[in-house]
Each structure stands twice: as structure tokens, then as C-alpha cells.
Structure 1
Amino acid sequence: MHNGFGTESNEEMNLSADEIKVKANELYKVKNYENAIKLYSRAIELDPTSPTFYTNRAAALMMLKRPKDALNDCQRALNLDPTSIKALLRGAKCNFTLGNLTEAERWYTNILNAEPNNQQAMMEYHQLQQVQEYINRAGLYLQNGQFPQAAQLIDRASSYLDEVPTKLKIMKGETLLEQKEYAEASRIANEILRGDQQNPDAHVLRARILYKEGDNQKAAAHCQEALRCDPDHSKARILLRKAKSIETQKNAGNEAFKRDDFITAYNIYTSALEIDPENKNTNSKLYSNRSAVLVKQGKLVEAIKDMDKALELDPTFVKVLKRRADAYMKLEKYTEAVQDLKAALEIDSTNQETRRELRNAELELKKASRKDYYKILGIPKDASENEIKKAYRKAALQHHPDKNCGDSEAEVKFKEIGEAYAILSDPVKKQRYDSGADLDGPNCGMDFDSVDPNLFFQMFMNNEGFPGMGTNGPRGGFSNFGGFNPREFPRQRSGGYHSYGFQY
């Protein structure tokens, strides 16, 4: 005969219900709970009117961590004998471990009203009160923003329970949410919803997580579901309004950006940022979008400020790190660009585009660490050969030591001007310089420590046919001086620059 807990054996068929109970008790004492349950079930089949059989089976079920089945047996026992203290004690404990704290309190109160000195009831009721105190204090900590303390008390309360009540799970999810542990908070919300799709608090918890993660559309959908379950759920209504408002504004800003209406886009993103200053993930995206507007307007310094704010809210925002690096590159702040691209690679090490951008930034940083010969001559990097020549002539005349007697800075500047022209007038050296290659080594650079820069200037002016300087020397740039090597010319040791008879 099947009974839901086991089947009878040939031996049991000849025993009375009480005799079977005795054998079941012996199995219980040696912790053979499964077989004890089978015998208690057989005894109940023979005599379903005995409350003892139900309370005994409840005890065995509790040992196997089956409190729901045990609670059912206790309720059947109480239906037969409402004064059964054993049934009340075991039922109260089942309610306690199942998280039915209010019901457990009612059962313990009934026991203590009947037996005020019942030690087991007093001890377990004290534990229940302790759990209730943990939960109440955790609620206060949540209200005050003390989330780690709230989580700690929730865990303490849960340690007493076989099944954590939904209310406590929601509270734990809220503490995890506020501590930005979104994955674990989502796990709790989804676990509740799998068991109960009609739980509005679980829908709101899931909505809050999605809202914090910046997914306003899904957040709004969960708020709407919560309101379907409970039309008076104020948290759902408030969050729905915020999520819809931010999403509407963000989309409007994006549309304005797409049609190149940058002023409108900027104003819309600014308004969206004012809706909820606490929504860090969404606001990080809004600052990112607004920075893109500023980049389009050529306002790089302002754009970087918005990128800074976006990264304060979300330090792992790779897109913004790369955009800020690009802005730094345009502003020739290569050190900062390299730092941002390295940070982006730490977050996403597989991005080959970022790796290429980093190599380029490092090259520009290397080039920037050397003398900027274009700046020295005051010319753009795409200057023609003739523009380079004219710039050298003008700068050299301006800073020639004969024109700046006693000015040591002018002498240094005059030497740098010569260096700049020596590199930029030679196509091979210019190409190496522009590419960032080292200029050290044989035939790679100009050693102005071994040649008088005034001699260099004299030869250039002669080569150009400058009035008063003669017309000796081949035409063309300095690089075409018949294989001229400044190392072959001794430094002028006496007579100063005037020894060349330079006249203005």
C-alpha cells in the first residue's frame, strides 16, 4: 500500500499501530530517519486518529530538513488534539525555520500561555525575538544608508532559518544593490521572481538594479509589472517616472546629435543630468554624450571636463577613456593620452585598435620629448622646403650673436635654429625626425658641438647669394652642399662671429 512516505513490509502487516510506532521510535533514536518515517506512516494508516503518530513523524521530517511536511503533520495533530504541546512546539519551530516569524510568534505565545515555564518554548521564543530584532535594526540601517551593517544583521538573522523569507531576501538584495554588487542583487531578485512572478517588491528590486546599471527601458518594464501586481506601489511609480523621463531626454539628445544640432543636444543632455544626480551609470553616459557634442564643436578643454566627470562615475568606461585620449592627442598632451590608453587596455586587453592607438601616442610622446624643430623655426609641420628655408633665414638673422651682443640666450637660440634647419632641410633626416626615429648615430644628425653655427650660417647665406656674402657655393638647400660635413670644419676659436665680416 502506497502512502506518500513509503510502503509496508510483510513483517509490518502483522503488527499493531502502536507496535509499529515503537519500532519507528527505535529507528529514530539511531538516526535512521527515512525508515522511521516509513513506519510512522504505516502506523498512521492503521490509526489515523492518533496525534502522537503525526507529531513523531514531524520530528523525523524536521531532522531531514523538511519543515513544510513537518508543519503539515503538526497541524493534523492539532486538529486531533488542540492542546498537544509537542505539536505546538514542533509547529512553532517549523514556522520559525520557514521564516514565518509572525506565525511562529503566535504558536510560541499559545505554548507559553499554556505552560509559562516551558524551557524549550522560552529558549526558542528568545531566538525568534533575537531574529526579529536583527531584522528591525537592519531595516533602520538600510534607511540610514549603513548598508554593510544592514547586510551583516540580515546574514545573522538568516543563519537561524532554513528558508529565508522573501522580505529578508528583498532587504539583502537592497543592501547588495546599494553596495554596487549588482550581479548578486540580480540573482536574489530573479530567484524570487522565478517562484513568484506576482511579487511587486521583487519587480521593483530588479527595476532598481537595471536603473542603476543604466538600462532604463527594462527598469521601466519591471516597474510597470510591479504596478500591475500592486497599483498602489509608490516606489514603482516614482522609479517609473524617473526612468521614462531620463530615457526620453537621452533619446532626444541622441537624435539632435545625429542631425548635427549640437546646441540642442547639449541642452537636452544637460537637462537629463538634472533628473537624478544619484543615477551614476546613466549620468556617466550622459556626460559621455555631452562630451561628444563638445568635441564636435571643437571645445576640447570643456569636453575633457565632461569626460572627467563620466569617468569619476564609471572608471571602467573604455569608450570615454579612448575619447579623452584622442582629445589629449589633439591638444598635444601625449603623456595624458598614453595614460588613458593604457588604462583602457587594462580593462579590455584584447582591443587591437586601442593597442595601435597606444603605440601611436607613445611615438608622439617620444617625438615631443625631443626638440621641436618646427616650433624653433616657427613653421607648421607641413611646411614646404622653401618655407623652411625662409623661416631659417629670418630666425637666424633675428638671433645672430652679432645682432645680440652679450646675449647668451640669443646665442643658444641661434645654435638651435641652425640645428632645426640642418634636420628639416635634409629630406632623409626630416623623414626620420617626422617618423620619430632616433637621429643619433652616423650620418643621422648634425653635431653642432663640433661646428661653429656662424660658419653654418655663413655658408647658407653664401649659398643663397645673400647680398654682401658672395655667391660661392652650390645652389639649393644646405643638404646639397656637396656632401658638406660640419665635422670637417674646425670651431672658430678666436675673433668671434665678426671674424666672418657679417654685415647687416
Structure 2
Amino acid sequence: LPLPRDAYDVDNELNKLDPEPAAAEEPADDTPANDGLPPDLTAMMLAKMPAVEIERRALNEKNKGNEAYKANEYLEAITHYTHSLRLQQNNAVVYANRGMSYLKLKQYRPALSDCTAAIQVDDGYTKAYLRRGIAHRRLSQTLQAIKDLDVVLHREPHNKEAREHRRCAQLEKEKMEREAPKAVAGRGATSGKKSSVVIEEVDGDS
């Protein structure tokens, strides 16, 4: 017997509700030169630089990244955020901002990595959970997405973006659960078929 359907069509709802349709990741060469340092700095210069100057330069690179992001120049933003992190590593906001830039480029794995780094630096930074939840969704990691988005909604119950992604993730979960029995049945039917491969015996002596 066919499985009973819900009152709504899951596939149709997903098509209507998904705030940003998923797309295949495209490779991008966005690794800055000079080991992530700004082009006017070397590792030796950095080692001799006063802490206050390092902090000033890190903030300057972060601000440049923000300006590039606002101009939709996401690769440039990533470069500046990388410079900032090379100068001052424990900055959750910069990690999350670089993660958001990767999301805009549909580079979901580095986005996930950056948002995780942001959470490791500052577990209270809610935006990092939101962005990581979105990255999980784009990678079809639905249960992990729901977990992160639930953290956001626990802290910010009226966050519209989190609610929308959480709703879509729930629909994707229901679709996955609906299709799971069919997949199991299909594998069972396949395993029950006789193999058409002919196995030939070989002589032990050459």
C-alpha cells in the first residue's frame, strides 16, 4: 500500500519556501599569497611588531573585508578577512564574516569550517550558529542544520531567517524519512536478484 501523504506536498513546499535554492559548489582559488599576511608584511616583520600595531592592522583588514562584502566583492572580502585572522586569530566575528562570504560564493564546506571556528572562539556568537546551520542545509546535512538552527531560535525566537531555514530543514527531514522505506525496499529487491556475472574457474597450474 502507498504511504499516506501529509496534508501538504513536501516537494512543493520546499520549492516555495527555500529562501535560497541550493547549487553545486564551484571551486575557487581564493587562497591569499604570502601565507595569509597582508602583502606589505612578512612573518619576520610581524614577529617584531608591537601588539597594539598588530591589533590596529587586524581591525583595518576586517573593515576592508566588510566594505568589500557590502560591495558584493566576496573573494576580496575573504582575502581581507584572511589577512585579519592571520594577524589576530581569535576573532569570532571575522571567522563568521568570512564564513558568510563563502556562503555567498556557495562554497559551503569552508563556510562550515569558518563558522565552526567562530563557535570555538565564542560559543555565544549566535550568528555563527545561524550561518553554520545554513551551510549544513546546503550540504544536505539536515539533522545538523536543525540542531544549529534550534540554538539560534532558543536564543532569538523571532529570528525570521532562522525560522525560515528551520522550517525548510524540517520539510527536508520529512521528505528524507518518507523516502527512506522506498530506498530500503529497492535495495531488498536488488539483492534478491540472481547475479548475471559468470564466474570462471581457473587452473591452479599455469
After TM superposition, give the deviation of residue 65 of structure 1 in Å: 1.3
Select 2:113's aligned residue among 60, 64, 72: 72
Q: Which amino acid aligns with 1:34?
A: L
Give the conservation status (yes or no) of the 8 Å contact 2:134–2:165: yes
Select 1:243's aligned residue among 191, 195, 201: 195
Render the CA deviation track for 1:151-180: whole Å, top value 9, x for unaligned: xxxxxxxxxxxxxxxxxxxx5xx9xxx8xx
Render the CA deviation track for 1:251-277: whole Å, top value 9, x for unaligned: 9xxxxxxxxxxxxxxxxxxxxxxxxxx
Structure 2 counterpart of 1:6:
32
Larger radius of gyration: 1
Render the CA deviation track for 1:94-138: whole Å, top value 9, x for unaligned: 111101111111111222222222221111000111222223333
Structure 1 counterpart of 2:170:
129
Q: Which runs of 4+ in 1 moved over 4 A?
A: none
Structure 2 counterpart of 1:88:
129
Select 2:140's aligned residue among 99, 102, 121: 99
Render the CA deviation track for 1:453-500: whole Å, top value 9, x for unaligned: xxxxxxxxxxxxxxxxxxxxxxxxxxxxxxxxxxxxxxxxxxxxxxxx
Task: Give the 5 Å matches for 1:439-454.
Answer: none
What TM-score results when the alignment is normalised by the length of structure 1? 0.28
Task: Give the 5 Å matches for 1:299-314.
Answer: none
Percent identical among aligned pairs is 25
SS in 2 for 1:16: helix
Task: Give the 5 Å matches for 1:105-504.
Answer: 105-139=146-180, 142=182, 208=190, 235=191, 238-239=192-193, 242-243=194-195
Q: Which amino acid aligns with 1:47?
A: Q
Q: Does 1:35 align with 2:106?
A: no
Structure 1 counterpart of 2:64:
23
Q: Work out the number of aligned pairs and report it.
A: 155
Q: Which amino acid aligns with 1:46?
A: L
SS in 1 for 2:39: coil
The separation in 2 between residues aligned to 1:5 and 1:29, in whole angstroms, is: 21
What TM-score results when the alignment is normalised by the length of structure 2? 0.65
SS in 2 for 1:9: coil
The separation in 1 between residues aligned to 2:171 and 2:154, in whole angstroms, is: 20
Structure with greater helix share of residues? 1
The separation in 2 between residues aligned to 1:124 and 1:49, in whole angstroms, is: 28
Render the CA deviation track for 1:410-466: whole Å, top value 9, x for unaligned: xxxxxxxxxxxxxxxxxxxxxxxxxxxxxxxxxxxxxxxxxxxxxxxxxxxxxxxxx
Q: Return the structure number with greater relative CO, CA threshold 8 A, min gap 6.
A: 2
SS in 1 for 2:32: coil
Unaligned 5+ runs, structure 2: 1-29, 47-52, 201-206
Structure 2 counterpart of 1:381:
none
SS in 2 for 1:92: helix
